[in-house]
């Protein structure tokens, strides 16, 4: 990995903030910004949800056709 300011090869980059930008830099260039300490965020454990039971006994719609409906 290279320093994002001077381009020198680095093995242990330091994260700094300069003007709301996060950069990985070497130790010498870290003085140009504020060192950012990463906070480890725990990811919530997602519980698996069971699928809803589909009721197979659907009510059938019964249609009734009335002859001469328009004349009534």
pLDDT in tens, 17-57: 999 999 999 999 999 999 998 778 888 888 877 777 776 66
pLDDT for residue 7: 94
Cα 70 to Cα 28: distance, rounded to the nearest angstrom: 91
Query: Model's pTM, two decimal places?
Result: 0.52
The dihedrals phi and psi of 34, each to the nearest 5 degrees, come to -100, 130
Please enumerate in sequence order all residues whose Cβ is within 8 A of that of 13, keeping only pairs 6 or more positions apart, or say none: 1, 3, 24, 25, 26
Q: Are 10 and 2 in contact (CB under 8 A)?
A: yes
């Amino acid at each position: 990995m290279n320093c994002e300011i001077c381009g020198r090869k680095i093995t242990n980059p330091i994260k700094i903030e300069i003007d709301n930008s996060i950069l990985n830099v070497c130790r010498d260039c870290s003085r140009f910004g504020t060192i950012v300490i990463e906070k480890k965020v725990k990811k919530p454990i997602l519980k698996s949800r069971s699928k809803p039971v589909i009721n197979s006994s659907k009510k059938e719609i019964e249609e009734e056709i009335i002859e001469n409906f328009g004349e009534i």
